[in-house]
A = this chain, B = another copy of it.
Amino acid sequence: MPAPVDLALLHFPVLDKNGQRVTTAVTNIDIHDLARSARTYGIRRFFVVTPVEVLRALARRIIEHWETGFGSTYNPNRKDALSIVRLAPDLDGAILDIEKETGQRPRLVVTSARPAPGAVSYAAYREELARLEQPQLLILGTGWGLAPEILERADLRLAPIEGAGTYNHLSVRAAGAVILDRLLGAS
């Protein structure tokens, strides 16, 4: 059986445009778009990670609206997508959750728009995924990307997504969809 792949969207620690460590706001659109993409590509757990308790409460309200509230009958597809969303205060919370359910510590996989030595291509990692059994946790950063301590902690770093030139400023919603498609899309 191929490795289960989970997804985490980090709102801390991430960088702002000046390279400062910040906490970004949780947004409705990120949760919806990434949940729909994750659900489409067979992801079973999508962690929205923020240390800010009121933002986790806000995210919980959004999810409940679509899971059990008005939205659940208005748009059942949305309910289906949001059923995979979980909240965690930090990356370790997400890791622990996966470990509890699978019995294994997940391999941490980061993505970054910046090139780095040792980064692995999507094709190579896709091939590896089919052979692995260890759970994998794909970590996406908001703002201007994941802080160095998260990148350093990763077991694997994926190469930047290359488009057609040097401009490479995909939104996290677009980048997340492209990454999932490259790794898990029907070829």
**Chain A residues in contact with chain B, CB under 8 A?**
17, 29, 32-33, 36-37, 39-42, 75, 77-78, 80-81, 161-165, 167-171, 173-178, 180-182, 184-186
Contact = CB atoms under 8 A, between A and B. Distances in A.
A36 B169 contact: yes
Contacts of A167: 39-40, 77, 80-81
B169 A77 contact: yes
Contacts of A185: 161-164, 178
A110 B51 CA distance: 42
Contacts of A169: 36, 39-40, 77-78, 80-81
Contacts of A177: 170, 173-175, 177-178
A178 B181 CA distance: 7
A186 to B, nearest CB: 4
Nearest to A173: B173
A42 to B, nearest CB: 3
A40 B164 contact: yes
* Most chain B beta-carbon neighbours within 10 Å: one of A33, A169, A175: A169
Nearest to A177: B174
A106 B28 CA distance: 37
29 contacts: A17-B75, A29-B29, A33-B171, A33-B174, A37-B174, A40-B161, A40-B163, A40-B164, A40-B167, A40-B169, A40-B170, A41-B163, A42-B165, A77-B167, A77-B169, A78-B169, A80-B167, A161-B181, A162-B185, A162-B186, A163-B180, A163-B185, A164-B185, A164-B186, A171-B173, A174-B177, A175-B177, A177-B178, A181-B181
4 closest cross-chain pairs (CB), A and B: A42-B164, A174-B177, A40-B163, A162-B186
